[in-house]
Chain A
Amino acid sequence: SQQGEEDPQALSIQEGENATMNCSYKTSINNLQWYRQNSGRGLVHLILIRSNEREKHSGRLRVTLDTSKKSSSLLITASRAADTASYFCATDAGGNNRLAFGKGNQVVVIP
């Protein structure tokens, strides 16, 4: 079963705006990761946040984690057309020796 569930499923924004997407999960985790997938390409790791961290930044990316609500958010600031992609959250699924990916969140940035 899918561990991560992203929300919203699809997002269309103007270049320069911020994009926020959320991910919820069901079981306890050690870490949560976000990946980006451009059309027809493999997933690219963006950022990892550990269960004892609440917020993490990487360039224009900001990730938050709320383990009490079992949710995470990914914020992309000052979006660019090149940010157009699908974004996936993944958790280590509570010790099943695998990453469980959500269904993805399609973001379209309009120039």
Chain B
Amino acid sequence: DSGVTQTPKHLITATGQRVTLRCSPRSGDLSVYWYQQSLDQGLQFLIQYYNGEERAKGNILERFSAQQFPDLHSELNLSSLELGDSALYFCASSPNTQLGPQHFGDGTRLSIL
């Protein structure tokens, strides 16, 4: 058990809709990272938050946004969903901003119909 909790585990929705994915980091970790994993693109870094502030941005679409709350949990909001957004979305956490080991949750599988 990594200590990182992601909800929901599965999400099925339609094109054009908006969803929110939630992540609770491992106790004591201040950094939260979001990744998208798909068969054709592999594991893509989306965004990182550290102690409530955006720290690094990757290949995140403008339709996607994230935030980290004072209790350090994070949410990833995906809007105007397209078929191509179907993927596994992972959250990971680490103690600080140094790029050491990251602890991953089991992901949210998003299916767009």
Contacts and interface: CB of A to CB of B under 8 A. Distances in A.
Interface stretch (A17-25, A68-76, A95-103): A95-103
Contacts of A35: 104
Contacts, number: 56
Interface in B11-51: 33, 35, 42-43, 45, 48
Interface in A39-66: 40-45, 48
B interface bracket (residues with beta carbon within 8 Å of A): 20 to 34
A97 B100 contact: no
A53 to B, nearest CB: 14
Contacts of B101: 33, 45, 48
Given A31-B100, A97-B97, A99-B99, A42 B42 contact: no
A96 B48 CA distance: 12
Majority DSSP secondary structure for residues of A touching B: loop
A76 B85 CA distance: 35
Contacts of B106: 40-42
Given A42-B2, A42-B90, A30 B107 contact: no
A44 B104 contact: yes
Contacts of A92: 99
Contacts of B43: 43, 88, 101, 104
B90 A2 contact: no
A97 B48 contact: yes
A41 B101 CA distance: 17
A83 B102 CA distance: 20
B42 A2 contact: yes
B56 A98 contact: yes
Contacts of B97: 97
A28 to B, nearest CB: 13
Contact of B56 (A45, A48, A96): A96
Contacts of A97: 48, 55-56, 97, 99
A104 B56 CA distance: 23
A44 B4 CA distance: 11
Given A31-B99, A98-B99, A102-B42, 20 more contacts: A2-B42, A30-B99, A31-B100, A42-B4, A42-B106, A42-B107, A43-B102, A44-B2, A45-B103, A48-B101, A96-B56, A97-B48, A97-B55, A97-B56, A99-B33, A99-B45, A99-B99, A100-B45, A101-B42, A101-B43
